[in-house]
Chains A and B, each alone.
Chain A
Amino acid sequence: MAVKIRSRFFLRVFIHFASLVLVIMLSFTFMMIPMQKKALLQIMYTQGVTVSRSIIQASSDAIITNDFGFIVEHNVEVLKNNPSIHYIAIAPLRGKTIWVDQTGWRVLEDPISLLTELQSEHIEYEIEHQQWEAEGYHLVYPIEFSGIKWGWLHVDFATDEYNAYIRDMYLQLVYLAGIAIVLLMVIGYFFARWVTRPVSIISDLATQVANGNLEVQSKIKRHDEIGVLSNSFNKMVQSLQQSKQKLENYNQQLEQEVKKRTLALDALNQNLDKKVKEEVHQRQEQERLLIHQSRLAAMGEMIGAIAHQWRQPLNALSLVLQNQHMNYQAGQLNDQAMSRSMEKSERLINKMSTTIDDFRNFFKPNKQAELFNINALVHTTVNLLDAQFKSHNIEINIACEENLNIKGFQGEFSQVILNLLNNAKDILLERQIVSPNISISAHRIANGISIRVSDNAGGIPDDIINKIYEPYFTTKEEGKGTGIGLYMSKMIVENNMMGKLYHYNNSEGAAFMIEIPTQLPK
């Protein structure tokens, strides 16, 4: 790239110099040509006048005595000795014109217009080439003796010499132009080199400096602007060297400072790492504790639920026992009654046993993700609380699509649904809603399943709506809520199942939305 730039600079200087000299040379040439032509014409004019005077002088006696024989003889001799004269014509004022040319002579019976047109009181001339075969310089010289006009002498010279001279001049100009162009190329080259070389050298050095080499020095010693530029360049390089040295020193100081700081940071990092690990451990412990608390809370809740579940079969079993006792007292405890009581008792005990199994399954930890049906899970979970809902007249509406299967940890997800149902039940009871109801719906959405749990308890107050997922945040009375249910639910949905748990208030109450992907991401 640098070479191209230098070449362009060199070419530009060379072309400008060559153009300038060429223009001057051409201008000079175009001025010279007309001047040369004019000078040649002047020479021809002088030659014509001299020859005419000579002829007239030599023939003066013959002209005065009208000795045309002598005039012809003399002019024939003149033409013989001057091949460059085409013709000589003597035109008397009165009388016929005598014409002498290189082939002979004659008396012109009728005057030729070319001759008569130019005849005047003064010497006239014209370059003509139409009437005669060869181009000629025609000069008309008036003949006078003692102020008396006698006639005119016409002399026509060949312009061959003139044309040859002009041709030679053009040829010489062409040669000169050729030589000048060659010289121009050579001189122009050296001139352009002389002008551009130092600039190119400095440009090269500048490029080296730009590439980081600050050891270069310009050796150009001249007493002109280039010399000043060279000195300035050297000073600039020295200045850059000093700056670079300063920068390097500063860099060393900085590096030392950075090392110090790095060591300090390393020490700090080590402490920080330790602290982070401790914090993480604490947090893990806390979470574990939270989970444990959550499980305990859930178990508490479950125990309450079991109590509710068992209350009715226990009452029925009590009634069976009371009826059997009454039959016994009445002596009516027969086989049939006994058999009926035993069958009923066994059914009630089985129901209670089933309840126990349900709760045990609910708390059984899932070690591996498995495919489960949302509709079945929702019904199972609702059944766990069914006794409580019924005892408080809470209406449960389930509208789940069939075949909504997801792969995940079924127990954890049941706990989420259970939390949401318990929270809804608690707020419905707390606010003593007249016709309490809880709606559960589930349907397929793009890339997953959406489950909605809503109530008609009036919604979450605005002042706490953004705090409900914080751990240990609860609005329930002390002893009734731990404040970790929603926190755990959000963690299960969003961390373990890669879904989303959010809520909003509608016209009746609060609605919690669970959106989970059908397949857990790998």
Chain B
Amino acid sequence: MSITNVSLATEDPFQQLTLRTGFYLQSIPDIALADMEVALRFWSEEVGKHAGFKAFITIYKSLDQMRTDFYQGKINFIVSSPLPIVDTFDPALLADGYKIVHSDTSAKNQLLIITHKNSGVNHFKDIKNKQLSILISDPISEMFVDLLSLKYFGKQAKEVFPNIDRIQRSNQLIFKLFFKKTDLILVYRNAYQLAIELNPQIKSNTRVISRLANIPRGLGFFHRKVNPKFRESVLAEMEKLETHPRGRQLMALFHAEKIQRSSIADLKTTQQLKKKYLQLIDRVRKQ
């Protein structure tokens, strides 16, 4: 789905000095589509105006379409959660971009598995026949639960948990757990921390039994063919996003504390996780 028409005035679209962002919608499940569209449109226009270049944004529901457009140069910058990038895009075509972080310390960018204290679950091994609730479109969560299920039970998650409840937003997951409507949830640490800030009773009534560290919530990468100077100038503006009123508004929407420069190295944890996951799958199949 394209909300902005990108005109290709020159023969090589990568040489056009405009920022053409492709945004994979399902990588940020907590945010409503309408809010996202409005916020990104304003952001791209205002930041571009401020930095002296034109900016456009396209929100994608299909990764294949997003990949095709990126390879053809219709978009020259992609934004998504790390796993879709690892799954879909050739790392060799990616150049440095930015990432959304919730804290300076990467330890806080964690995916947590949380139970209720009275549920009797102290370890992932104890989760048999328990109700699991995860975010509705978070491939990392799906893969992490699958990975742990394969690791501890030699089965995929859908076999270990007869009913996996998929929910739109993180705070809904936390509410379900707090009010004992589910036994196990997967949420990112920033959402959990935020929920505790709003109600400290959550911390005293829940327990984290497992965590996956260094998982950035969202990342952006340029196409390698984009003019390096232009890339640097855009990234320099991105790093100043928090100084801009509209930028702060956008960061608040993503529950982000900072925008930092990203590199291919930021995909490493995800790549390793996927590699391990694939190994376990392969092992189980062989058995």
Contacts and interface: CB of A to CB of B under 8 A. Distances in A.
A105 B199 contact: yes
B178 A104 contact: no
Instruction: Identify which of A66, A69, A73, A103 gathers the most chain B CB atoms within 10 Å of its CB.
Output: A69
A68 B197 contact: no
Interface string B130-174: 000000000000000000000000000000000000000001101
A164 B130 CA distance: 54
A104 B175 contact: no
Given A73-B171, A73-B172, A104 B179 contact: no
B198 A69 contact: no
A213 to B, nearest CB: 85
Contacts of B197: 104
B181 interface: yes
B201 A69 contact: no
Given A72-B175, A73-B172, A67 B199 contact: no
Category for how many chain B residues contact A? 10 to 19
A104 B181 contact: no
B73 to A, nearest CB: 41
Contacts of B181: 67, 69
Contacts of A103: 198
B261 interface: no
Contacts of B244: none
Instruction: Identify which of B174, B176, B199, B201 gathers the most chain A CB atoms within 10 Å of its CB.
Output: B199
Contacts of B174: 69
A94 to B, nearest CB: 15
Contacts of B198: 76, 103-105
A114 interface: no
Nearest to B196: A104
B175 A68 contact: yes
Nearest to B176: A69
A106 interface: yes
Contacts of A66: 179
Nearest to B175: A69
A68 B199 contact: no
Interface in A403-429: none
B92 to A, nearest CB: 43
Nearest to B179: A68
Contacts of B179: 66-69
Contacts of A72: 175
A376 interface: no
A70 B172 CA distance: 7
A107 interface: yes
Interface string A60-88: 00000011111011001000000000000
Contact of A107 (B171, B172, B176, B201): B201
B122 to A, nearest CB: 24
A69 B199 contact: no
A106 B175 contact: no
Contacts of B201: 106-107
Nearest to A107: B201
B198 to A, nearest CB: 4
A421 B287 CA distance: 199
Nearest to A72: B175
Interface string B252-269: 000000000000000000
A441 to B, nearest CB: 142
B133 to A, nearest CB: 11
Contact of A70 (B175, B178, B200): B175
Nearest to B169: A73
A423 B247 CA distance: 157
A413 to B, nearest CB: 141
Given A67-B181, A69-B181, A106 B171 contact: no
A57 B240 CA distance: 44
A106 B172 contact: no
Interface string A100-119: 00011111000000000000
Contacts of B199: 104-106
Interface in A156-203: none
Contacts of A76: 198
A69 B178 CA distance: 8
A153 to B, nearest CB: 18
A166 B223 CA distance: 62
Contacts of B172: 69-70, 73
A58 to B, nearest CB: 15
A70 B179 CA distance: 10
B4 to A, nearest CB: 30
A101 to B, nearest CB: 10
Nearest to B178: A69
Contacts of A105: 198-199
A68 B172 CA distance: 10
Contacts of A70: 172, 175
Contacts of A73: 171-172, 175
A65 to B, nearest CB: 10
Nearest to B197: A104
Contacts of A104: 197-200
A132 to B, nearest CB: 18
A68 B176 CA distance: 8
Nearest to A101: B198
Contacts of B200: 104, 106
A475 to B, nearest CB: 151
17 contacts: A66-B179, A67-B179, A67-B181, A68-B175, A69-B174, A69-B175, A69-B178, A69-B179, A69-B181, A72-B175, A73-B171, A104-B198, A104-B200, A105-B198, A105-B199, A106-B201, A107-B201
Given A69-B178, A76-B198, A105-B199, 15 more contacts: A66-B179, A68-B175, A68-B179, A69-B175, A70-B172, A70-B175, A73-B171, A103-B198, A104-B197, A104-B198, A104-B200, A105-B198, A106-B199, A106-B200, A107-B201
Interface of B: 171-172, 174-176, 178-179, 181, 197-201
Closest 3 CB pairs of A and B: A69-B175, A104-B198, A68-B179
